[in-house]
């Protein structure tokens, strides 16, 4: 896969506080990457910088060979809140996004495309309902349909399921895994849910604690696809992968800050690890 996104030495400061610094990573075309870390390390800010909603204080973000200077319909965002326009129907919300992408399309063409997008996420029966008539999970489905309907080159997701109940969250995670696989969508997602990251991601970026956070480790997800919530915990290597990430979040994310970055940190990539492929530790004699 060819590299589509390159984050190069990005830093963000608020007043005298450096939230994160020396952030380097790439995303290949067609790859899905999840960013995991504790609150306060700047995860959402990194997504906003990728979306073009914020500018970094240092460094650059290169997407498809060009430095980004602002938002683009090539990078669609699914927010934690549904961000739907309450006076429009589900179909109307999706059709509005389509009309922004395809300004030469007729209203009928936009509406037809919107209804087809809603059908893909199982909401064709609710196309004419307004957001107030939809459940939380249905609203997020509309948001996902709206994002995918404009055929973006990249899908950015900021903890889109965190406010949902466990059953709805699990169903939507499986849905996103299916849609991303079908469309070969390049994706970047922020999550606190370790299983969600393992389900969706090709690689998982682990971020140290803020302030002065940075990418501490890149974990390669070697579990085979397709993956679903039902079969995930039965896969060989799942428990080693999950334990590795949890160990980072519980212990190593804090200890990592005490280690000074190497002198050539900004000149090299963070090494990848594959805990699911690592042999089990030898039993003590």
Q: Which of 72-86, 87-101, 139-153, 254-268 is modeled with the greatest confidence? A: 87-101
What number is the average pLDDT over the span 261-274? 52
CA–CA separation, 272 and 218 (whole Å): 5
Q: What spatial distance separates the first Cα and last Cα of the chain, rounded to whole Å?
A: 45
Stretch 158-162: mean pLDDT: 84
Q: What is the mean pLDDT of residues 61-75?
A: 91
* Rounded Cα–Cα distance for residues 61 and 25 (Å): 10
pLDDT of 266 > 60? The answer is no
Among 2-6, 250-254, 256-260, where is mean pLDDT lowest? 256-260
Confidence (pLDDT) at 45: 94
Tell me: pLDDT of 282 over 60.
no
pLDDT tens across 178-204, in order?
877 787 889 999 998 899 999 999 999
Residues of the chain with pLDDT > 90, as a percent, come to 49
Highest-confidence range of 5-14, 79-88, 174-183, by mean pLDDT? 5-14
Least confident of 22-36, 215-229, 262-276: 262-276
- Rounded distance between C-alpha atoms, residue 25 and residue 6, angstroms: 6
The pLDDT of residue 24: 92
Rounded-to-integer distance, Cα 43 and Cα 59, Å: 16
Tell me what the pLDDT averaged over the chain comes to: 85
Instruction: Count Cα neighbours of 224 within 13 Å in the Cβ-side half-sphere.
Output: 4
d(CA 129, CA 87): 10
Q: Given strand 154-158, what is the order of strands in its sheet?
A: 75-78, 154-158, 186-190, 32-36, 203-207, 215-220, 272-273
The domains of the chain, with CATH numbers, are 3-74+157-277 (3.40.50.300), 84-151 (no CATH)
Top pLDDT among 80 and 100 is at: 100
Confidence label for 93 from pLDDT (cuts 50, 70 and 90): very high
Position 279 pLDDT exceeds 70: no
């Amino acid at each position: 896969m060819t590299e589509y996104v390159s984050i190069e030495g990005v830093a963000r400061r608020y007043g005298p506080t450096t939230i994160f610094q020396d952030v380097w990573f790439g995303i290949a075309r067609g790859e899905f990457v999840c960013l995991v870390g504790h609150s306060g390390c700047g995860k959402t800010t990194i997504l906003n910088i990728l979306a073009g909603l914020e500018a970094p204080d240092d460094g650059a973000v290169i997407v498809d060979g060009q430095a980004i200077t602002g938002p683009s319909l090539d990078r669609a965002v699914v927010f934690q809140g549904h961000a739907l326009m309450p006076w429009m129907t589900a179909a109307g919300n999706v059709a509005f996004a389509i009309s922004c992408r395809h300004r030469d399309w007729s209203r009928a063409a936009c509406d037809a495309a919107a209804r087809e997008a809603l059908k893909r996420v199982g909401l064709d029966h609710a196309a004419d309902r307004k957001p107030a008539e939809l459940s939380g999970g249905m609203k997020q489905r509309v948001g996902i349909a709206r994002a995918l309907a404009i055929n973006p080159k990249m899908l950015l997701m900021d903890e889109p399921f965190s406010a949902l109940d466990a059953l709805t969250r699990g169903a939507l995670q499986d849905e996103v895994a299916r849609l991303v696989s079908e469309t070969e969508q390049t994706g970047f997602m922020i999550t606190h849910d370790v299983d969600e990251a393992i389900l969706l991601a090709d690689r998982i970026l682990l971020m140290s604690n803020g302030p002065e956070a940075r990418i501490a480790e890149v974990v390669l997800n070697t579990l085979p696809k397709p993956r679903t919530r039902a079969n995930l915990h039965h896969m060989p290597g799942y428990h080693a992968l999950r334990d590795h990430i949890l160990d980072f979040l519980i212990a190593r994310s804090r200890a990592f800050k005490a280690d000074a970055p190497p002198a050539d940190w900004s000149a090299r990539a963070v090494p990848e690890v594959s805990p699911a492929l690592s042999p089990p530790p030898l039993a003590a004699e």
